[in-house]
């Protein structure tokens, strides 16, 4: 069973409520990718979530459509996803947990990142988190920022 709460790491010591706006987006859904955290999984995950032929979500499903309005924040040590209605932090991952990020070339309004259940070198379970923005330039900016944070953090360790 997919339990996304296992992938929310409270020990990262970020606020549970957010005051910063970030990029306005929609948390579209998530896909459990198993032991695979490479960028190729992003294309598969986006296609799965957007497929009109997929079965309805169930508790034992390896994917879940969420469609929740959020703010996507890119910080010095990681990313944070904040519910735009309640201001609660619903996802947060350090760059050390993020194994890849990207988008699908013919769907520029969608972007995603994959995070492991531990730092990537030790992770054995990955989830792809998919988001939608109304301005594809935001998706590009977010992905560039994650990439820079990823490089900065991985080279510092």
Report the C-alpha gap between 102 and 137 in whole angstroms: 13
What confidence score (pLDDT) does residue 101 get? 96
CATH of 4-11+18-156, one of 2.60.120.260, 3.55.40.20, 2.30.29.30, 3.40.50.300: 2.30.29.30
What confidence score (pLDDT) does residue 154 get? 63
What confidence score (pLDDT) does residue 155 get? 62
What confidence score (pLDDT) does residue 49 get? 93
10-residue stretch averages of pLDDT, the chain, 157 residues long: 39 46 93 94 94 62 91 95 95 94 94 90 91 95 92 66
What confidence score (pLDDT) does residue 52 get? 74
- Domain ranges (residues) in the chain: 4-11+18-156
Whether residue 104 contacts residue 110, with contact meaning beta carbons closer than 8 Å, is answered with yes
Query: Would you call 133 exposed, middle or buried from its count of C-beta atoms within 10 A (0-12, 13-18, 19+)?
Result: buried
Q: What is the pTM of this model?
A: 0.82
What confidence score (pLDDT) does residue 21 get? 67
Report the C-alpha gap between 112 and 115 in whole angstroms: 10
What confidence score (pLDDT) does residue 150 get? 79
What confidence score (pLDDT) does residue 58 get? 53
Residues in Cβ contact with 118 at an 8 Å cutoff, skipping those fewer than 6 apart: 97, 124
């Amino acid at each position: 069973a997919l339990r996304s709460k296992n992938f929310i790491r409270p020990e990262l010591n970020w606020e549970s409520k957010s005051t910063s706006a970030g990029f306005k987006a929609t948390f579209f859904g998530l896909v459990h990718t198993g032991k695979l955290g490479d960028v190729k999984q992003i294309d598969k995950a986006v296609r799965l979530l957007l497929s009109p032929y997929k079965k309805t979500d169930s508790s034992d499903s390896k994917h879940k459509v969420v469609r929740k309005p959020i703010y996507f924040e890119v910080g010095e040590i990681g990313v944070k996803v904040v519910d735009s209605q309640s201001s609660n932090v619903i996802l947060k991952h350090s760059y050390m947990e993020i194994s890849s990020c990207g988008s699908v070339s013919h769907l520029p309004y969608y972007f995603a990142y994959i995070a492991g259940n531990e730092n990537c070198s030790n992770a054995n379970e990955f989830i792809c988190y998919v988001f939608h923005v109304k301005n594809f330039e935001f998706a590009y900016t977010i992905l560039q920022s994650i990439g820079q944070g990823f490089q900065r953090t991985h080279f510092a360790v």
